[in-house]
Structure 1
Amino acid sequence: MNTKTGSARAYVGAAGLAALAVLFGSLGSWQAGRAAASREAQARFASGAEATVLAPPAALDEAQRFRRVEVRGEYVGEPQFLLDNMLHGGVAGYHVLTALRVEGLRERLLVNRGWVAAGDRRVLPDVTAPGGARAISGRLERLPRPGLRLAAAESSTGGAPLVVLQFPTAEQLSERLGAPVAAYQVLLDPAAEGGYVREWRAPGIAPERHLAYAGQWWLLAVGAAGAAIVIAAKTTMRREP
Structure 2
Amino acid sequence: MISTLVTLCAVVIMFALANWQLHRGLDKAQRIQSIASVSSNASLSLERVLTLDKDIQDLPVSFTGAIDPQKIFLVDNRIHQGRPGFDVYGVAQGQTQNVLINFGWVAGNSMRNDLPQVILPNTLSGALGRVVEPTDNPMITETATQEAIWPKVIQQVDIHFIEQVIKLELPPFVITLTDSSDGFIRNWQPVVMPPEKHYAYAVQWMGLGIAAFLVYFFALRARFRAAHKKGSHEQHE
Specify the TM-score bucket, using the shorter chain as the normaliser: 0.7 to 0.9
Q: Distance in 2 between matches of 1:61 and 1:94?
A: 32
Q: Which of 72, 76, 87 is 2:64 aligned to? A: 72
Task: Give the TM-score normalised by structure 1.
Answer: 0.81
Q: Distance in 1 between matches of 2:212 and 2:14?
A: 9
CA contact (8 A) 1:80 1:160 kept: no
Report SS of the residue matched to 1:114.
strand
**Aligned pairs for 1:54-73 within 5 A:** 54-56=44-46, 57-58=49-50, 63-73=55-65
Report SS of the residue matched to 1:122.
coil
**Aligned pairs for 1:33-112 within 5 A:** 33-56=23-46, 57-58=49-50, 63-103=55-95, 105=96, 107-112=97-102
What is the letter of the counterpart of residue 166 of structure 2? L
Report SS of the residue matched to 2:50.
coil
Q: Distance in 2 between matches of 1:229 and 1:181?
A: 57
**Aligned pairs for 1:180-191 within 5 A:** 180-191=169-180
Q: Percent identity?
A: 23
Q: Distance in 2 between matches of 1:60 and 1:164?
A: 32
Match of 1:3 in 2: none
Change (3 A) 1:187 1:61: farther
CA contact (8 A) 1:188 1:195 kept: no
Asked if 1:129 corresponds to 2:120, the answer is yes
Q: What's the offset of the Cα at 1:159?
A: 4.9
Report SS of the residue matched to 1:210.
helix
Task: Give the TM-score normalised by structure 2.
Answer: 0.82
* Structure 1: stretches of 5+ with no match in the other structure: 1-8
What is the letter of the counterpart of residue 38 of structure 1? K
Change (3 A) 1:17 1:154: closer
Q: How many residues align?
A: 225
What is the letter of the counterpart of residue 225 of structure 1? F
Asked if 1:163 corresponds to 2:152, the answer is yes
Match of 1:172 in 2: 161
Report SS of the residue matched to 2:73.
strand
Higher relative contact order (CA 8 A, sep 6+): 1
* Structure 2: stretches of 5+ with no match in the other structure: 233-237
CA contact (8 A) 2:148 2:165 kept: no
